[in-house]
Amino acid sequence: MKEFFKKLEKLDRRIIFIFVACALILPLFIPLNIKFSVTQPVQSFYDTIESLPEGSKVLLSADYDPGSMPELWPMHLTAVRQLCKRNIKIISIQLWATGSPLAERVFNEVAIGEFHKKYGEDFVNLGFKEGREVVMVSMGNSIPQTFPTDYHGNKTDDLPIMQGVKNFSDLAMIVNISGGLPGTKEWVLQVVSRFHIKLASGCTAVSAPEFYPYLQSGQLVGLLGGMKGAAEYEQLEGIIGLGKRGMDSQSVAHLVIFLFILIGNIAYFSTRGMKKEKG
């Protein structure tokens, strides 16, 4: 047995890669339909949007790039879908330049494609603005001055949706889809603490642990962490999207990794005992 563990210690990492690949690929062809429950942070995210009155205006900041799409794209789609369904007006901005075409795609697919919403009246994409935290603080003074034109070059002041919108006090809440920096942390530090507006975040799983303290302190009203968060959000919306479909693969891959960690530790402690005996 100990010889077996000794061999395991020198196991070629490529064998582990094959196991992980199989664990990810097979459930895509043979769905396992593993059930999962909705966690409180996701429920709060959903409930906060549900509690907004019809016609209110929400700022949707899509701060991510195609690299984070598998995790953030499903929650971005679902958030726009929920906002459109509730007849809430969406003002979208991006603090990541690569977020602008993604925001456009989501609007075309959901707001126009599914809900036949009108650009400039029901939703608007103000586009990308360089400046990170400076842009956030500047928006606290004036959103139209920070974004004088939208993504398509239209004057912001002329758009019907922007009538009566001066700064954060004219918005019901902020929904942030965050791929890193600048993202949720900066929105919390620069905007929530200064302008006292509700913020809900959808973020990558990597950054989720960093944001849980903000949830506990009430600085975030809801949190979607990674693909699991997206899947739970899709479940609440009653749709089967990319998040939910990826959960089988995710679960099986986690199980495989867990087993490898367990076996690796058993092998390590067993062989350590052998080395001590020899010594």
Partner 1 sequence: MPTSELIGTWVAAGLTLFCFSFLYKDNPFYKFAEHLYVGISAGYWTSLEYHNVFRPNLWDPLMRLDLNLLFSFPELGFSFMWQSIILIVPFIFGILFFTRLTKNYAWLSRWSMALIIGIFAGIAIIGYSTGDLITQIYANILPLWTGNWLSSLNNIILIIGVITSLIYFFFSKEHKGTLGGAAKIGIWFLMISFGASFGYTVMSRMSLLIGRIYFLFGNWLGLIQ
Q: How far apart are CA 268 and CA 264, in angstroms?
A: 6
133 binds partner 1 (CB under 8 A): yes
Is-contact 116 82, C-beta < 8 A? no
Neighbouring-strand partners of residue 128 = 94
For partner 1, which residue of 8, 69, 112, 239 counts as binding (CB under 8 A)?
69
122 binds partner 1 (CB under 8 A): no
264 binds partner 1 (CB under 8 A): no
For partner 1, which residue of 55, 113, 160, 213 counts as binding (CB under 8 A)?
213
User: Of 140-179, which residues contact partner 1 (CB under 8 A)?
Assistant: none
For partner 1, which residue of 11, 15, 55, 67 counts as binding (CB under 8 A)?
67
Helix (H) or strand (E) holding 64: none
For partner 1, which residue of 28, 32, 34, 259 counts as binding (CB under 8 A)?
28
25 binds partner 1 (CB under 8 A): yes
In the complex, minimum distance from the CB of residue 185 to partner 1, in angstroms, rounded to a whole number = 9
241 binds partner 1 (CB under 8 A): no
| Residue-by-residue DSSP string for 123-151 | EEEEEE-S-THHHHHHHHH-HHHH-SB-T
* Sheet strand arrangement including 199-203: 123-128, 89-94, 57-63, 173-178, 199-203, 222-225
Q: How far apart are CA 25 and CA 253, in angstroms?
A: 9
CA distances from 188 to 111, 151, 176, 195 (A): 27, 25, 10, 10
Q: How far apart are CA 115 and CA 165, in angstroms?
A: 24
24 binds partner 1 (CB under 8 A): yes
In the complex, minimum distance from the CB of residue 218 to partner 1, in angstroms, rounded to a whole number = 7
For partner 1, which residue of 60, 139, 188, 267 counts as binding (CB under 8 A)?
188
Site residues for partner 1 per CB under 8 A:
14, 17, 20, 24-25, 28-29, 67-71, 97, 128, 130, 133-134, 137, 186, 188-190, 192-194, 204-206, 208-209, 213, 216-219, 225-228, 242, 246, 249-250, 253-254, 257
